[in-house]
Structure 1
């Protein structure tokens, strides 16, 4: 895909569309189950910028800021919000099923907790993104599909 994505004879709009259709699905494979820490988020944003810089043939030694690159590409950072939307949609689906996946996803399994700092749960990342307050409120909201979709749409619209 490098020859297509870096070809100056093809419009930037078409090259971005090719990136969205062929590269991003590979990158986001299985993202519904990821817990995104700050470090992971920075790496994903850096990857997104790397793709854009390669498409525009901007060398890493060129002193251009990410904002300048985004302006040249006529776009904004969308990768994290796409991943979060997919996670929220999947989470709502799992919560409505009320099976074993529900227990695993919420982390409400019986037994002792391991020593050390506890791992971040998917629900914690989603409640922060959705600004839902407490995780129990988010779980209850998933029962009403229309309300859950509205909550996701508002979070995507805010672009966080």
Structure 2
């Protein structure tokens, strides 16, 4: 869906009279919201993370009209735009912020029930799939009960989000500047 949006804006990306910084801002405002829609609830595997990074590089290469025959490295493309890869870090940061929001919501317990609930069913064969709660626990380094307790205080939770972003080599200030929507 996001790639379709990128392709539909080909006239903008091919126009040489539009400066690159403006094209980059247009990319972040017109294409990234499609890409990030509902990312707060995604449970991601390593393969999904690499697909997000590849898609981000595809966006940048399309923006600069770089074809695969040019054999340019990702670092070279990023240096020309003057940015770093931030899409995956935005997904991770938004997920943590959403958990805090869902836990503090007093109007309904539905989000809490979904977040903390378990379904009664027999587990299938093989390794258990990584759950949303497991990914949040791994990112914050906290257990489910302490996530629920600490997310009740917004200032404490913001500190946890910042420290988790710092631990994952994500600069929250960069992510805040790249925010969409």
Please give the TM-score of this superposition, normalised by the length of structure 2. 0.78
TM-aligned CA deviation for residue 82 of structure 1? 1.0
TM-aligned CA deviation for residue 91 of structure 1? 1.0
Matched length: 158
Partners of 2:71 and 2:27 in 1: how far apart? 24
Q: 1:7: which partner in 2?
A: 15
Partners of 1:86 and 1:25 in 2: how far apart? 13
Is residue 89 from structure 1 mapped to residue 100 from structure 2 by the alignment? no
**2:53–2:88 CA contact under 8 A, matched in 1:** yes
TM-aligned CA deviation for residue 35 of structure 1? 0.6
1:118 alignment partner, one of 125, 128, 134: 128
**1:5–1:19 CA contact under 8 A, matched in 2:** no
Relative distance call for 1:58 and 1:153 in structure 2 (3 A) is same
**2:61–2:67 CA contact under 8 A, matched in 1:** yes
Q: 2:30: which partner in 1?
A: 22
Q: Provide, for residues 100-151 of structure 1, a one-character-per-residue CA deviation record: whole Å limited to 9, x for no partner.
A: 2212123x32523422232222222223233x24343333221221011122
Query: More relative contact order in 1 or in 2 (CA 8 Å, sep 6+)?
Result: 2
Q: Which runs of 5+ in 1 are unaligned?
A: none
Correspondences of 1:1-160 after superposition (within 5 Å):
1-97=9-105, 99-106=109-116, 108-116=117-125, 117-130=127-140, 132-157=141-166, 158-159=169-170
Q: Which runs of 5+ in 2 are unaligned?
A: 1-8, 172-181
Compute the RMSD of aligned alpha carbons: 1.9
Partners of 1:123 and 1:49 in 2: how far apart? 29
Partners of 2:112 and 2:25 in 1: how far apart? 35
Q: Partner of 1:8: helix, strand, or coil?
A: coil
**1:95–1:142 CA contact under 8 A, matched in 2:** yes
TM-aligned CA deviation for residue 30 of structure 1? 1.1
Partners of 2:139 and 2:55 in 1: how far apart? 21
